[in-house]
Amino acid sequence: MTKESIKQNPQRIFSGIQPTGNLHLGNYLGAIKNWVSLQSDIPSIFSIVDLHAITVPQDPAKLRSSIHEVTAAIIASGVDVKNSILFNQSSVKEHTELAWIFNCVCRIGWLNRMTQFKEKAGKNREKATVGLYNYPVLMAADILLYKASHVPVGDDQKQHIELARDIASAFNNMFKNEKQEDFFSLPEPLILGTATRVMSLRDGTKKMSKSDDSDASRINLTDTRDQISNKIKKAKTDSNPLPETLDELKTRPEALNLINIYAALSSQKTSSILEQFSGKGFSYFKPQLIELAVDTLSPISSEMRNLLKDTKEIDKILKIGQEKAKNIAEPILKDVKNLVGFIN
Ligand code: AMP
Ligand code: TRP
């Protein structure tokens, strides 16, 4: 799916991000940057998914400040809150209501296949919350509550969107109106750009993640110029110059990651960046990557700091988003409840 094909058949975008602190370059390049570029072509709804955040224990005060921080980061990155809808998930109760109905559609076997649960729960599966296991059902509800047609995400969320499609099809088969029409159309994942999976700066085979113990593994959106510079200087590499071909680059995970990051930050193709730097060493490449990363991220982090001085204003923006989101969600949930056979 390309941006051009969406323009020809625009419908509605939904995407979400968890307010769990440490928003990083992966979140920016894999998700938020694409939200910003899509919002002018297709009506968009973006959510700070706080109900998802509590699938692992959260400190309430920290959760509250993360909701503000992530909202500020999204606005500072360029999401236009006048034209797009930005709200926190728990403020629209229809999400949990639809999630329950979907719990009664989704099969245990489908959830058992979800690789992210296996990764996140690790060896301690018996101690994981039911919410963590069940989370993809809530995610399906998030998307289908607005009958979203496209869901821009990073590569790691593809399987969850496939599950949302399975749930939508199963619902369509179970519940028909008099005309025997499908109630939901199937949402498409939109995995755009050259950095759909940004890797850790310490290990090119591991995803850059909010929860990595090493802060040096990621570039946070709140990092200062010096922090960004030091992290890139120290980023793991090998000692060879950058290769000639993409095939060779693909055998060198750390080099591939840094080149992909450069390509995504400059909105260019990986192959053109490789052409530009092939034969050059990292001592030549890294300073240029630092300059590009600082130039892109510093205005975002300074705008974020500015917005965070007035959290009441952020609350107002979320309230407006809540009302707009509810206006779309309420009638859709009402129709779902009618189809299921509830009296409301
Ligand atoms: P999360 O931090 O799990 O709430 O993810 C929010 C969004 O960022 C989702 O669309 C993810 O797919 C995306 N994302 C998270 N980590 C990465 C990464 N390392 N590379 C690319 N996209 C990512
Ligand atoms: N599960 C997503 C993540 O961790 C966040 C999310 C929740 C989401 N609901 C969504 C993304 C709906 C897209 C659409 O990254």
CATH number, domain containing residue 242: 1.10.240.10
Does 104 fall in a domain? yes
Q: 306 by DSSP, 3-state: which?
A: helix
Rounded to 5 degrees, φ, ψ at 249 are: -60, -40
Q: How far apart are CA 80 and CA 39, in angstroms?
A: 8
Whether 120 is in the pocket of ligand 1, judged by its Cβ within 6 Å, is: no
**Joined tokens for residue 146:** 């607005």
Q: Give pLDDT tens digits for 243-279.
A: 999 999 999 999 999 999 999 999 999 999 999 999 9
Cβ–Cβ < 8 Å for 191, 199 = no
Catalytic residues: 120, 207, 210
Q: Give pLDDT tens digits for 30-41.
A: 999 999 999 999
**Number of domains the chain is built from:** 2
- Tell me the three-class secondary structure of 194-252, residue by residue: CCCCCECCCCCCCECCCCCCCHHHCCECCCCHHHHHHHHHHCCCCCCCCCCCHHHHCCC
Tell me: do 132 and 23 sit in the same domain.
Answer: yes
Tell me: do 234 and 166 sit in the same domain.
Answer: no
Tell me: do 292 and 314 sit in the same domain.
Answer: no
Q: How many helices (H) and strands (E) does the chain have?
A: 16, 5
- The residues near 79 (Cβ < 8 Å, ≥ 6 apart) are 32, 35, 36, 39, 46, 86
Q: Give pLDDT tens digits for 78-89.
A: 999 999 999 999
**Joined tokens for residue 142:** 């998030």
Cβ–Cβ < 8 Å for 151, 190 = yes
pLDDT at 228 over 90: yes
What pLDDT score was predicted for residue 9?
61
Cβ–Cβ < 8 Å for 250, 238 = no
What pLDDT score was predicted for residue 4?
64
Tell me: do 316 and 182 sit in the same domain.
Answer: yes
Q: Give pLDDT tens digits for 177-222.
A: 888 899 999 999 999 888 889 999 999 999 999 889 999 999 999 9
Whether 208 is in the pocket of ligand 1, judged by its Cβ within 6 Å, is: yes
**Ligand 1 atom closest to Cα of 49?**
4
Tell me: do 325 and 302 sit in the same domain.
Answer: no
Cβ–Cβ < 8 Å for 225, 298 = yes
Q: How far apart are CA 246 and CA 53, in angstroms?
A: 37
This prediction's pTM: 0.93
Q: Give pLDDT tens digits for 56-108.
A: 999 999 999 999 999 999 999 999 999 999 999 999 999 999 999 999 999 99
Number of other residues whose CB lies within 10 A of the CB of residue 328: 20
Q: What are 151's strand-pairing partners?
A: 189
Tell me: do 325 and 228 sit in the same domain.
Answer: no
Residues 19-31, mean pLDDT to the nearest whole number:
90
What pLDDT score was predicted for residue 232?
97
Residues 117-124, mean pLDDT to the nearest whole number:
89
Q: Give pLDDT tens digits for 40-55.
A: 999 999 999 999 999 9
Does 209 fall in a domain? no
Edge-to-edge strand list for the sheet holding 85-88: 85-88, 44-48, 13-17, 150-152, 188-190
Q: Give pLDDT tens digits for 236-249.
A: 998 899 999 999 99
Question: Cα 5 from chain centroid?
Answer: 21
* Ligand 2 pocket at CB < 6 A: 14-18, 49, 52, 139, 142-143, 151, 153, 157, 160
What pLDDT score was predicted for residue 8?
58
Pocket test for ligand 1, best of 17, 27, 32 (most atoms within 8 A of CB): 27
Residues 115-142, mean pLDDT to the nearest whole number:
94
Does 226 fall in a domain? yes
Tell me: do 298 and 322 sit in the same domain.
Answer: no
Does 203 fall in a domain? no
Question: Helix axis angle, 270-277 relative to 253-265, nearest 10°?
Answer: 110
Tell me: do 223 and 166 sit in the same domain.
Answer: no
Tell me: do 57 and 101 sit in the same domain.
Answer: yes
| Residue-number span of the structural domain to which 260 is assigned | 215-306
Cβ burial, residue 277 (10 Å; 0-12/13-18/19+): buried
CA of 279 to the centre of ligand 2 (A): 40
What pLDDT score was predicted for residue 58?
95
Q: How far apart are CA 250 and CA 263, in angstroms?
A: 15
- The residues near 173 (Cβ < 8 Å, ≥ 6 apart) are none
pLDDT at 1 over 60: no
- The residues near 169 (Cβ < 8 Å, ≥ 6 apart) are 186
Tell me: do 236 and 153 sit in the same domain.
Answer: no
Pocket test for ligand 2, best of 17, 48, 70, 211 (most atoms within 8 A of CB): 17
pLDDT at 3 over 70: no
What pLDDT score was predicted for residue 124?
86
Question: Cα 116 from chain centroid?
Answer: 14
Q: Give pLDDT tens digits for 129-144.
A: 999 999 999 999 999 9
Distances (CA, A) of 212 to 63, 276, 334: 18, 32, 41
Whether 21 is in the pocket of ligand 1, judged by its Cβ within 6 Å, is: no
- For residue 198, the ligand closest to its alpha carbon is 1
Does 210 fall in a domain? no
**Joined tokens for residue 189:** 């994942």
Place of tokens 């095939």: 247
111-125, 161-175, 290-304, 328-342: least confident range: 111-125
**Joined tokens for residue 117:** 């649960």
The CATH number covering residue 62 comes to 3.40.50.620
Tell me: do 249 and 321 sit in the same domain.
Answer: no
Tell me: do 36 and 157 sit in the same domain.
Answer: yes
Does 167 fall in a domain? yes
The mean predicted confidence, pLDDT, of the chain is: 94
